[in-house]
A and B are shown apart, each in its own frame.
Chain A
Amino acid sequence: MVKEYIVIAFTENQIGVLNRITALYLRRKINIESLKVSESSIRGISMFVISAFTTEEVIDKLVQQLRNIIEVIQVEYYSNDELITQEIALYKITSKIFRESGTVDMIIREWGARIIEMNPSFVVVEKTGAREEIENLRTELEERHLLTEFTRSGSVVLHREPFADKLADKL
Chain B
Amino acid sequence: MPNKQKIKGAEALLLSLIAEGTDTIFGYPGGQVIPIYDHLYSHTDQLHHILTRHEQGAVHAAQGYARATGKVGVCLATSGPGATNLVTGIADAMLDSTPIICITGQVPSSLLGTDAFQEADTISMTMPISKWNFQVTKASEIPGAIAKAYYIAQTGRPGPVVIDIAKNAQVEEFDFSYKPCIYLRSYTPKPILDETQIVQAVQMINASQKPLLLIGQGVKLSGAETQLIEFAEAAGVPMAATLMGISAVPNEHPLFIGNLGMHGNIAANQMTQQSDLILAVGMRFSDRVTGDVKNYAPQAKIIQIDIDRAELGKNIAVDLAIHADAAEALKALKKGIQYHDRAAWLHTADACNQQELRDVIQPSTDPNGTYISMYDVVSTLAEVEKSDAVIVTDVGQNQMFSARYSRFKHTRSFITSGGLGTMGFGLPAAMGAKLGVPDKEVVAILGDGGFQMTMQELGTIMQNQIGLKMIVVNNTYLGMVRQWQQLFFHKRYSFTELENPDFTTIAGAYGIANRRVERLADLRSGIEELAAAPGAFFLEVDVPPEENVFPMVPAGASLSNTICKE
Contacts and interface: CB of A to CB of B under 8 A. Distances in A.
A67 interface: yes
A10 to B, nearest CB: 9
B187 interface: yes
B314 A61 contact: yes
A16 B310 contact: no
A65 B159 CA distance: 14
A170 B185 contact: yes
B314 A64 contact: yes
The B interface, classified by DSSP as helix, strand, loop or mixed, is mixed
B152 A70 contact: yes
A24 B309 CA distance: 16
B309 A67 contact: yes
B343 interface: no
Assign chain B's interface to a size class. Answer: 10 to 19
Interface stretch (B126-134, B210-218, B261-269): B126-134
Q: Which 3 A-B pairs have the closest CB atoms?
A: A64-B310, A73-B186, A70-B132
A65 B310 CA distance: 5
Contact of B186 (A12, A15, A23, A61): A12
Contacts of B312: 64
Interface string B175-208: 0000000001111000000000000000000000
A165 B227 CA distance: 39
A51 B314 CA distance: 22
Interface in A6-50: 11-12, 15-16, 19-20, 23-24, 27
Contact of A27 (B128, B133, B186, B314): B128
A51 B133 CA distance: 26
Contacts of A64: 309-310, 312, 314
Among B131, B132, B135, B310, residue most surrounded by chain A Cβ atoms (within 10 Å): B310
A76 to B, nearest CB: 14
Contacts of A70: 131-132, 152, 184, 186-187
B320 interface: no
Given A19-B124, A20-B127, A61-B314, A11 B186 contact: yes
A119 interface: no
A68 interface: yes
Contact of A16 (B127, B187, B309, B314): B127
Interface of B: 123-124, 127-128, 131-135, 152, 184-187, 308-310, 312, 314
Interface in A68-88: 68, 70-73
B310 A67 contact: yes
Nearest to A171: B185
A23 B127 contact: yes
A64 B313 CA distance: 11
B124 A73 contact: no
A9 to B, nearest CB: 11
Among A12, A70, A72, A73, residue most surrounded by chain B Cβ atoms (within 10 Å): A70
Nearest to B132: A70
Nearest to B312: A64
Contacts of B124: 19
Contacts of A12: 185-186
A27 B127 CA distance: 12
A11 B187 CA distance: 11
A12 B132 CA distance: 14
Contacts of B309: 64, 67-68
A68 B308 contact: yes
B181 to A, nearest CB: 11
Nearest to A61: B314
A65 B131 CA distance: 11
A159 to B, nearest CB: 20
Contacts of A71: 186
B317 to A, nearest CB: 10
A171 B185 CA distance: 6
A170 B314 CA distance: 25
19 contacts: A16-B123, A19-B127, A20-B128, A23-B127, A24-B128, A27-B128, A61-B314, A64-B314, A65-B310, A67-B310, A68-B310, A70-B132, A70-B152, A70-B184, A72-B186, A73-B185, A73-B186, A170-B185, A171-B185
